[in-house]
Amino acid sequence: MTADDKKYFEEMEARIPHGRVRTRFAPSPTGYMHVGNLRTALYTYLIAKRAGGDFIFRLEDTDQSRQVEGAAEVIYRTLKECGLKHDEGPDIGGPVGPYIQTERRGMYKKYAKMLVEKGHAYYCFCDKAAEEEEASGEETDAKEAFAKTDDPCRSLDPAEALRRAESGEPYVIRQRIPHEGTTTFHDASYGDITVPNDSLDDQVLLKRDGLPTYNFANVVDDHLMGITHVVRGSEYLASAPKYNLLYEGFGWEIPEYVHCSPVMRDAQHKMSKRHGDPSYEDLREAGYLTEAILNYVALLGWSPRGEIAEREFFTLDELSEVFDIAGISKSPAIFDIEKLRYFNAQYIRDMTPERFAEVAEPYIRQAVKNEAFSASKIAALLQQRTEILTEIPAKLDFFDELPEYDAELYTNKKSKTNPEVSRKVLETALPRLEALPSWDAESLHDLMTGMAEEMGVKNATVMWPIRIAVSGRMVTPGGVVELCDILGRDESLKRIRKGIEKLS
RNA sequence: GGCGCCAUGGUCAAGAGGUUAAGACACCACCCUUUCACGGUGGUAACUCGAGUUCGAUUCUCGAUGGCGUCACCA
């Protein structure tokens, strides 16, 4: 190790913040923000915030071949919309940057070489093409490969290996895993897990292109960024022992691991883009609210304990106060869109009428182009009847134009109506409505209930036929009174005349 | 196949060595009602199996079974 290197390492160490909880969300910008990702980001954020700590965003872009245009933007946008604000990251900087792995590439090499010097890693000059062939071989070949043979480079003379590497011969750096013994690591939710060392392989740390592998970059970055809690998917559980060996090799303190079980589409399959499972943005587009998505996702794999065990509605800030690692579930959770829908409906009902009118208006106007029909009045009808925003337009298809409908709709057992009764109701109502001094909900209501009383029939007997006449629909959001109010006198009367015609 | 993890109703899940085994979604019934909703009340439905420990295990231990993960110069 040169004096310069030594100084470099010391400087890097000096930057590391101590004494506070620091977590990081470190996605690779290769895909989209699926629900499992979002949940990991949420938990990571909550663990930091619960402890009053820092939430760091880091981009893991070491795979040159899998760069996806714009993928990072999707992640930024999602985090921002969800309110998962990071304290440090590529876009805002911070004390331990850079926060993009490709911009840190020089560092990994230095640390990999340090590990070689310490004897916990070695240069490997084996042919890449041959290895790849082996890796992509048939299943039977793969099984044979399990009877793994020792990498010949493992026993190369260190001085000789160093000479070859420095002479320009292509190489990778591999971790030297002990052949004997076991390694135990601790996870906050899974407890202690012990594995035999001979089940671990001498994984590549530094690739031929000089960039680190995911596993190596993680360890180096997490240490150098002062990460105290490593929150990630349980698919990384199997590589955790190798991490411990790495930390021990460096002589670094091991962070707390928090592995999260996957979010499943069904009992057998994880949620995945490939199978068309929705991303955060897909859900938004489908009419789900951010708050509802976040609340539901928080409960997918975590549950409140103690006094709040029965509670299920939480804002992000509330979660930041009560989130507890102990409540994280160890088994996979199946994503249930029905329950998300329920949360969404609850959030919609909890909105103020004004707020709902605001978010619903674009959907209302998809179906109701006639500006004379008040969007806010329509919204008022919709609020208790809407579970997801996208189902709004279909409920309003009778506003702009009275649809063709069957006279059979006038027959309803419960309302005690049939074509004859309906015709009589419409004919009685028409002149009265024409003469109604003020066209508003209250007057309309009084007129119709008054009529029912006069005729000696139940309210429904009067209301049903008129509602059918003005809407042409068996099922409508809101009753006759509201519909007539919104449609206005002219349009309502026109539709009622048409109804009489139809029944004649 | 090796290694590892997991296992309470259809789903999310609480729970504890002794309970009538919570709660929520979904489903069903009834009530409310001006259709549909909302709201209210009630209901159907679960501890994978087998040993062991124990006075007593769904809870602890072991095993089986099943599911998942991993075994890349991908993350």
> Rounded to 5 degrees, what are φ and ψ at A292?
-70, -40
pLDDT of residue A65: 66
Instruction: Measure, in angstroms, how far nucleotide B5 C1' is from residue A116 CA.
Output: 32
Tokens of A69: 């245009």
Give residue A139's pLDDT band: very low, low, confident or very high (50, 70, 90): very low
For A183: left if phi > 0, alpha if psi spans -120 to 50, otherwise beta; the answer is beta
Residues 220-239 of A, Cβ under 7 A from nucleic strand B: 234-239
* Contact criterion met (CB below 8 Å) for A281 and A78: yes
User: How long is chain A?
Assistant: 504
> Rounded to 5 degrees, what are φ and ψ at A389?
-55, -35
A49 catalytically annotated: no
The answer on pLDDT for A284 being more than 50 is yes
Sign of CA dihedral A339, A344, A347, A348: negative
* Contact criterion met (CB below 8 Å) for A186 and A257: yes
- Which nucleotides on strand B sit less than 7 A from a protein beta carbon? 1-8, 10-15, 22-26, 33-39, 67-75
Tokens of A61: 């872009």
Element (H, E) at A347: helix A337-350
Crossing angle, helix A459-471 and helix A441-455, to 10 degrees?
130
Instruction: Measure, in angstroms, how far nucleotide B74 C1' is from residue A283 CA.
Output: 27
Ranges A31-35, A155-159, A184-188, A376-380: which has the least confidence: A31-35
Ranges A99-103, A146-150, A275-279, A464-468: which has the least confidence: A146-150
Task: Give the integer Cα–Cα distance in Å for A324 and A304.
Answer: 8
The answer on pLDDT for A504 being more than 70 is yes
- Full 3-state SS string of A79-112: HHHHCCCCCEECCCECCCCCCEHHHHHHHHHHHH
Residues 365-424 of A, Cβ under 7 A from nucleic strand B: 384-385, 414-415
The answer on pLDDT for A134 being more than 60 is no
Q: Nearest nucleotide to A207 by CA–C1' distance? A: B73
* Contact criterion met (CB below 8 Å) for A97 and A214: no
Which of these is catalytic: A143, A148, A273, A369? A273
Residue A203: strand, helix, or coil: coil
Task: Give me the amino acid identity at A472.
Answer: G
Give residue A133's pLDDT band: very low, low, confident or very high (50, 70, 90): very low
Cβ of residue A68 near strand B, that is under 7 Å? no
Tokens of A400: 């702009």
Task: Give the integer Cα–Cα distance in Å for A446 and A462.
Answer: 12
Give residue A142's pLDDT band: very low, low, confident or very high (50, 70, 90): very low
pLDDT of residue A146: 40
pLDDT of residue A409: 95
Distance separating the N- and C-terminal Cα atoms of chain A = 101
Ranges A128-142, A267-281, A301-315: which has the least confidence: A128-142
pLDDT of residue A61: 86
pLDDT of residue A330: 94
Q: Cα A27 vs. chain centroid, distance in angstroms?
A: 13
Q: State the ipTM, two decimals.
A: 0.95
Comparing A319 with A34, which gets the higher pLDDT? A319
Ranges A23-27, A151-155, A279-283, A400-404: which has the least confidence: A151-155
Cβ of residue A67 near strand B, that is under 7 Å? no
pLDDT of residue A136: 45
pLDDT of residue A443: 96
What letter would DSSP give residue A332? -
Instruction: Measure, in angstroms, how far nucleotide B46 C1' is from residue A491 CA.
Output: 56
Task: Give me the amino acid identity at A503.
Answer: L
pLDDT of residue A279: 93
Write down the residue that tokens 């999260």 correspond to: A260
Q: What is the pLDDT of residues A423-464, one digit of tens each?
A: 999 999 999 999 999 999 999 999 999 999 999 999 999 999
Residue A448: strand, helix, or coil: helix
Q: What is the pLDDT of residues A167-223, one digit of tens each?
A: 999 999 999 999 989 999 999 999 999 999 999 999 999 999 999 999 999 999 999
Ranges A68-77, A301-310, A493-502: which has the least confidence: A68-77
pLDDT of residue A64: 64
Q: Which residues contact A420 (CB under 8 A, 6 or more apart)?
A: none
The answer on pLDDT for A385 being more than 80 is yes
C-alpha distances in Å from residue A311, one per residue of A300, A319, A322, A332, A345:
14, 11, 11, 21, 17
Residue A273: strand, helix, or coil: coil
Q: Nearest nucleotide to A233 by CA–C1' distance? A: B69
pLDDT of residue A141: 40
Q: What is the pLDDT of residues A346-383, one digit of tens each?
A: 999 999 999 999 999 999 999 999 999 999 999 999 99
Q: What average pLDDT does the structure give for chain A?
A: 92
pLDDT of residue A148: 54
pLDDT of residue A127: 75
% of chain A at pLDDT higher than 70? 94
> Rounded to 5 degrees, what are φ and ψ at A17?
-70, 145
The answer on pLDDT for A68 being more than 80 is no
Q: Nearest nucleotide to A239 by CA–C1' distance? A: B70
Residue A194: strand, helix, or coil: strand
Task: Give the integer Cα–Cα distance in Å for A59 and A480.
Answer: 56
The answer on pLDDT for A265 being more than 70 is yes
